[in-house]
Amino acid sequence: MAKNILICDDAAFMRMMIKDILTKNGYTVAGEAENGLKAVEKYNELKPDLVLMDITMPEMDGIQALKQIKSVDPSASIIMCSAMGQQAMVIEAIQSGAKDFIVKPFQAERVLEAVKKVVG
């Protein structure tokens, strides 16, 4: 089942938390990115099965990164992560092709549920 997942979040502790949840449940973390530009670079380099992408990041936000990845690979699976109160951005992300979204602060169960739904 080792699905390769790319984690994109500007907060190192968030990446660490997500990585911990995923690896404990049999997923492989292919890489990490701390901003949208790096996320696009890493996606093209690693071709992960799934991307967990924060919306609010420096350099390029998660929605721009999502659109860029989708323009290169329309079949890309991306789950967005956002803080409370970003409904408009979440809607834009879903319309731009995100498969699901997780609201921060998140529960491990919710992260796993979203990941399973998208990549099995």
pLDDT score, position 43: 98
Q: What is the per-residue pLDDT for 1?
A: 47
Helix (H) or strand (E) segment spanning residue 118? helix 108-119
* Amino acid 89: pLDDT: 86
SS3 22: helix
Contact partners, residue 102, CB within 8 Å, separation at least 6: 52, 79, 80, 81, 82, 110, 111, 114
DSSP state of 25: T
Tens-binned pLDDT, residue by residue, of the chain (120 aa): 469 999 999 999 999 999 999 999 999 999 999 999 999 999 999 999 999 999 999 999 999 999 999 999 999 999 999 887 778 888 999 999 999 999 988 899 999 999 999 997
